[in-house]
Amino acid sequence: MSADHTADSTAVFAYELGFLKSLPRSGWLRAGITAPESVAAHSWRVAVLAYVIAIGEGADPERAAVLGLFHDMPEARSGDVAAAGKSYVSIVDAVDIATDQTAELPAALAAHIQAVVAEHESAKTADATPESRCSRDADKLELLLQAREYAHAGQGVGSMPRYIDSMIPLITTPTGKALRDAALRVSPAAWWDDFARRFGGPEQDQRPMRIAK
């Protein structure tokens, strides 16, 4: 494979992943959210949360973050099929889609990406890695956080409790459970409320911000 072909195929791959920035999370549309987050936006926070959870669990945070970052990559081709639709359509396995997506990439790069998707998908199996469990918890926690944010903003209010409640039992690691409970306890606006309260006043330059007890 020539250097130009390698660069070209990688650019094509990057353009494909860019589609995830405009692909809406379809489940939110059914909940009445008219301008829902994109798959890429969801994946970014999943990666951050996976990193955080992995540190708490003594797992490899960089690996967990990468799993979270790539976990919805196949949706660039399959679309984001809402849970209600999965009983009516046949969906190709995510690892198979990732294999097709990376077919033109250099073999070593393709193998790495395929392994990342496969590891995340294995999170519910008996031989799941700690990192895959952290990534899966991050995926569920991110949805819970987003539902709380939509409800706080007055969007899809009637539907949000169902989304939140459905995620609660799916989070399994001790660190994930602690973050889940905190997310339910703390207002989505807490970070901004504290900043806005201090802005322009004598506390403005005080750092770091701390959660009031």
Can you give the pLDDT at residue 108?
96
In a domain, 182, yes or no: yes
d(CA 164, CA 31): 12
Is the model's pLDDT at 205 over the cut of 90? no
Q: How many independent structural domains does the chain possess? A: 1
Please tell me which residue, 91 or 130, carries the higher pLDDT value: 130
In a domain, 206, yes or no: no
The CATH number given to whatever domain includes residue 89 is 1.10.3210.10
In a domain, 213, yes or no: no
- In 3D space, the residue among 28, 12, 56 whose CA is nearest the CA of residue 176 turns out to be 56
In a domain, 205, yes or no: no
pLDDT digits (tens, 9 = 90+) for 144-203: 999 999 999 999 988 999 999 999 999 999 999 999 999 999 999 998 887 777 776 666
In a domain, 42, yes or no: yes
Domain enclosing residue 46, as ranges:
3-198
Q: Give exposure, 172-203, as e/b (b: 16+ Cβ within 10 Å).
A: ebebbeebbeebeeeebeeeeeeeeeeeeeee
pTM (global) more than 0.85? yes
In a domain, 211, yes or no: no
Sorting pLDDT into bands at 50, 70 and 90, what band is 78?
very high
C-alpha distance from residue 89 to each of 29, 166, 199 (Å): 18, 22, 51
